[in-house]
Homo-oligomer: A and B are copies of this chain.
């Protein structure tokens, strides 16, 4: 089909909007497992109408479509595995409207997360979702995975900021769900179902996003602890203090061993656990909340630092880079994304280490402590890793995901299932729920052509 599909799509969209498929350029940030990208062509539509035309053309001919944003996903959700067309959304990159007085922005799917954040900041507003890799990741992909990040604790995940979606749906139509209006209770909330649907129900082409007033100050506190238990006790103490922290992050001791040397504000040498808790608001308010957080944390901590000014940005830049530092430490990594009720956080962190040890794997974790979201990670010796190693990783991941469910949690807190966890929903969902998922899929995509070969 290669060649002829490229020609056909060139005739449909114009030659400058179609390219042959290049596997090297179309692999997600997913590391570790040897995913085999497979597609026949890449289309670069420049308008929502072209996305709908492309979808209609493919739907008639039963050609699979895999929508793709910045490729920063960690589960291979945007990596094509079943042939057909990759729908690259990067040319749908207009900020259609920014309304500072109404706290909102309308953007096309290919606008980067960093652009949304920056444009909001320039007018005194704030777009809180910060899943990382913001310069590369695109808002359409963030919506399709309901991306989170550190500040989801206070502000919610990407979906909580979506008031409207423009979507191309099978068999090839554009629909607008919601819009600039902040509340809408008319009909089933198909918009919220598209959020987190990983390109399997429709192709998001644009979104109306809600913004919030920018906090005047962000004051983090960094605290080192002797071990997992005392660190998690501090997390509980922060929650129990009644302060609404804007973020409560953690790194375990092994992660600190790999990435802690570059930590800008505190000597974490020898620490077994690190917590970053942040207060935001007006300067006075953030100070007062920070004091309450400190009062909760200090009795349990070995050392505490309160970064200020430029150090705050440095701290968060360092935090954003942790995943990559860990990935390169031994050549590669397989990172999981379980979430558990927050009182089971220590259990999930310790289970990661135990399961790693049982399979002879170097394990560590970090994540969004206040949300119970654990990026449990197994280090491997290459990218992709040797097959023997990957087999052990696969066994360990299977156990870990089951453990997350046993703890009352989920196999994915914020990355989605994609390709990596294509079998994992069955760990937590009943037969009735799995069947419901299939019925939802068929209601939107009866031919099963949207992002095939993944979890659904």
Q: Identify the A interface with B (CB < 8 A).
A: 99-103, 124, 145-146, 148, 152, 156-157, 159-160, 169, 173-190, 192-193, 195-197, 200-201, 212-214, 236, 239-240, 242-244, 281-282, 284-285, 288, 337, 339-343, 368, 371-373, 408-417, 421, 424-425, 428-430, 432-433, 436-437, 439-444, 455-456
Contact B188 A193 (CB under 8 A): yes
State the CA gap A29–B23 with chains docked (Å): 60
The reply to whether A185 and B196 form a contact with Cβ atoms under 8 Å apart is: yes
Given A341-B180, A410-B181, A436-B169, A455 contacting B239 (CB threshold 8 A): no
Instruction: From B173, B184, B430, give the contact of A175 (CB < 8 A).
Output: B430
- Tell me the minimal C-beta distance from A67 to chain B in angstroms: 16
A189 & B192 in contact (Cβ 8 Å cutoff):
yes
Would you call B412 and A185 a contact (CB within 8 A)? yes
Closest to A431 in B: B173
| Cβ–Cβ contact A146 & B185, under 8 A | yes
Decide if A101 touches B182 in the complex (CB within 8 Å).
no
A175-B436, A440-B443 known; A343 vs B413 contact (CB < 8 Å): no
What's the number of copies of this chain in the assembled complex? 2
Q: A425-B187, A430-B175 are in contact. Are A341 and B192 (CB under 8 A)?
A: no
Q: Which of B184, B409, B432 contacts A410 (CB 8 A)?
A: B184
Q: Given A175-B436, A443-B440, is A183 in contact with B101 using a C-beta cutoff of 8 Å? A: no
Residues of B within 8 A of A195 (CB): 189, 192
Asked if B213 and A183 make an inter-chain contact with CB atoms under 8 angstroms apart, the answer reads no
Residues of B within 8 A of A175 (CB): 430, 432-433, 436
Q: When the two chains form their complex, are residues B189 and A196 in contact, meaning their CB atoms are under 8 A apart? A: yes
Closest to A436 in B: B190
Across the interface, which residues of B come within 8 angstroms of A99, CB to CB?
A: 343
Residue of B with least CB distance to A242? B213
CB closest chain-B residue, reference A123: B242
A188 touches B182 (CB 8 A): no
The 3 A-B pairs of least Cβ separation, nearest first, read A192-B192, A439-B443, A443-B443
User: Which residues in B have their C-beta under 8 angstroms from that of A124?
Assistant: 242
A74 vs B101: C-alpha distance in the bound complex, in angstroms?
A: 32
A341 touches B102 (CB 8 A): yes
The answer to whether A239 touches B413 (Cβ under 8 A) is no
> Which chain B residue shows the least CB distance to A236?
B101
A124 — nearest CB in chain B belongs to which residue? B242
Tell me which of B183, B236, B339, B437 contacts A157 (CB under 8 A). B183
Q: In the complex, which of the residues A152, A214, A242 has the most CB atoms of chain B within 10 Å of its own CB atom?
A: A242
Decide: A240 near B201, CB < 8 A? Known: A182-B342, A371-B183.
Answer: no
* Complex interface: chain B residues within 8 A of A185 (CB): 145-146, 148, 196, 337, 410, 412-417
Apart from A184-B413, A186-B424, list 6 A-B contacts with CB within 8 A: A101-B343, A179-B341, A184-B412, A186-B412, A188-B197, A436-B443
